[in-house]
Amino acid sequence: MRVLAQRVSEASVRVDGDIVGQIGEGLLLLVCAMQGDDAAAVDKMAARVAKLRIFRDGDGRMNRALTETGGSALVVSQFTLAADLRSGNRPGFSQAAPPERGEALYLRFAESLRAQGIAVETGRFGADMKVSLLNDGPVTIWMDSADRA
């Protein structure tokens, strides 16, 4: 699973002009399920995200996790995180999980975050979404479950 986490002051996602998900302070999480991902990998990634210490403490240092701040998460499916450019300038996406599997894992990721006490909003899987955010910092972190044993 690949996740691009952005610390935000606010974020929202629209589909056909209607807001389908919106948060204040927290994380905008762009999520891509990859070939071979399973429920265990998804749950581990959700736990890593929940414990990611990128929020300011009393001294202004990045030392607090989302679970400590009371912030929310906006989870948006983003299959283009699977882009492979090794063969040229046109990206290939064959390493992304097939849509039906990708959607199930995306929804599980959101539920796994909820199970850890995080308020979660989502986009709409497979839809043409318009994402707005006010990046805080900016702080943007790339995470890939393949990078960790």
Which CATH number covers residue 95? 3.50.80.10
Closest CA to 107 of 35, 19, 50, 33: 33
Q: Report if residue 105 sits inside a domain.
A: yes
Based on the residue annotation, tell me whether 79 is a catalytic residue of this protein.
Answer: yes
Locate tokens 């607090």: which residue? 64
Closest CA to 75 of 11, 16, 135: 11
**With 80 as the cut, is the pLDDT of residue 148 above it?**
no
**With 60 as the cut, is the pLDDT of residue 127 above it?**
yes
Q: Report if residue 96 sits inside a domain.
A: yes
Whole-prediction pTM value? Answer: 0.95
CA–CA dist 29, 114 (Å, integer) = 14
Q: Report if residue 30 sits inside a domain.
A: yes
Q: Report if residue 11 sits inside a domain.
A: yes
pLDDT band at 146 (very low <50, low <70, confident <90, very high): confident
Q: Report if residue 82 sits inside a domain.
A: yes
Q: Report if residue 149 sits inside a domain.
A: no
Annotated catalytic residue: which of 55, 78, 109, 122? 78
How many folded domains does the chain comprise?
Answer: 1
Q: What is the residue range of 34's domain? A: 2-141
Based on the residue annotation, tell me whether 78 is a catalytic residue of this protein.
Answer: yes
**With 90 as the cut, is the pLDDT of residue 102 above it?**
yes
Closest CA to 143 of 91, 55, 92, 81: 81
Annotated catalytic residue: which of 6, 79, 109, 122? 79
Which two structure tokens, joined as six digits, stand for 92?
């290939």
Q: Report if residue 26 sits inside a domain.
A: yes
Based on the residue annotation, tell me whether 6 is a catalytic residue of this protein.
Answer: no
